[in-house]
Structure 1
Amino acid sequence: MELLHPWRLDFSTQPELKPVPVVSLVLPCFNEQEVLPETTRRLVALLARLEAEGKAAPGSAIYYVDDGSSDGTWRLVSEYAAAFPTVCGIKLSRNRGHQNALLCGLLTAPGEVLVSLDADLQDDLEAIPRMLDAHRAGSEIVYAVRHCRNADSVFKRTSAEGYYRLLSFLGVQVLFNHADFRLMSRRAIESLRGYEETHLFLRGLIPQLGYRTSVVEFERAPRFAGESKYPLRKMLSLAWQGVTSSTAYPLRLITGAGALVSLGSLLLSAWALGIRMFTDQAVPGWASVVIPMYLLGGVQLLSLGIIGEYLAKVYESTKKRPRFHVEAVCGSKLGTGFCGKDQP
Structure 2
Amino acid sequence: MAAKKLAIVLPAYNEEEVIEKTTARLHGLLLSMIENKKITSDSFIMYVDDGSKDRTWELVNQLRAQYGQVQGIRFSTNFGHQNALIAGMTHLTGTDVDYVVTIDADLQDDPEAIVDMVDLANAGKDIVYGVRNDRTTDTLFKRYTAQGFYKVMSALGVNSIPNHADFRLVNQKVLKAFSAYQEREMFLRGIFPLIGFNEGRVYYARAEREAGETKYPLRKMIQFAATGITSFSISPITFVRNLGIGIFGISILFLIYIFFGWAFGKTSTGWPTLMVSIWMLGGLQLVAIGIIGEYIGKIFMEVKHRPRYIIAEELNDYDEQA
Please indicate the TM-score interval, normalised by the length of the shorter structure. over 0.9
Tell me, what secondary structure is at the counterpart of 2:84? helix
Q: Aligned letter for 2:216? A: Y
Aligned positions of 1:185-264 closer than 5 A: 185-264=171-250
Question: Which residue in 1 is equivalent to 2:299?
Answer: 314
For 2:259 and 2:269, locate their aligned partners in 1 and report how far apart those are by CA, in whole Å: 12
Number of aligned positions between the proteins: 319
- Map Cα deviations across residues 192-242 of structure 1 (whole Å, 9 max, x no partner): 111101111100111111101011111000001111111111111111111
Give the structure with the larger helix fraction: 2
**Most deviating of 230-239 and 270-279:** 270-279
- Map Cα deviations across residues 278-309 of structure 1 (whole Å, 9 max, x no partner): 3535117876x655543332222211111111
- Structure 2 residue ranges without an equivalent (≥5): none
RMSD after superposition: 1.7
> How far apart are residue 74 of structure 1 and its match?
0.2
Aligned positions of 1:38-57 closer than 5 A: 38-57=21-40
Question: Which residue in 1 is equivalent to 2:289?
Answer: 304
Q: 1:327–1:336: structure 2 CA closer, same or farther, 3 Å change rule?
A: farther
Aligned positions of 1:1-344 closer than 5 A: 19-109=2-92, 110=95, 111-280=97-266, 282-283=268-269, 290=275, 292-332=277-317, 334-336=318-320
Question: Is this contact kept in 2: 1:19–1:136, CA < 8 A?
Answer: no
- Structure 1 residue ranges without an equivalent (≥5): 1-17, 339-344
Question: Is this contact kept in 2: 1:22–1:112, CA < 8 A?
Answer: yes
Tell me, what secondary structure is at the counterpart of 2:166? coil
> How far apart are residue 51 of structure 1 and its match?
0.8
Q: Aligned letter for 1:100? A: N
Tell me, what secondary structure is at the counterpart of 1:108? helix
Question: Is this contact kept in 2: 1:81–1:331, CA < 8 A?
Answer: no
Tell me, what secondary structure is at the counterpart of 1:31? coil
Question: Which residue in 2 is equivalent to 1:6?
Answer: none
Q: Aligned letter for 1:162? A: G
Question: Is this contact kept in 1: 2:258–2:267, CA < 8 A?
Answer: no
For 2:260 and 2:36, locate their aligned partners in 1 and report how far apart those are by CA, in whole Å: 82
Question: Is this contact kept in 2: 1:28–1:98, CA < 8 A?
Answer: yes
Tell me, what secondary structure is at the counterpart of 1:197? coil
For 1:233 and 1:286, locate their aligned partners in 2 and report how far apart those are by CA, in whole Å: 36
Question: Is this contact kept in 1: 2:187–2:231, CA < 8 A?
Answer: yes
Tell me, what secondary structure is at the counterpart of 1:223? coil
- Map Cα deviations across residues 155-189 of structure 1 (whole Å, 9 max, x no partner): 11011111111111112111111100000001101
Tell me, what secondary structure is at the counterpart of 1:180? strand
Question: Is this contact kept in 2: 1:20–1:136, CA < 8 A?
Answer: no
> How far apart are residue 272 of structure 1 and its match?
2.4
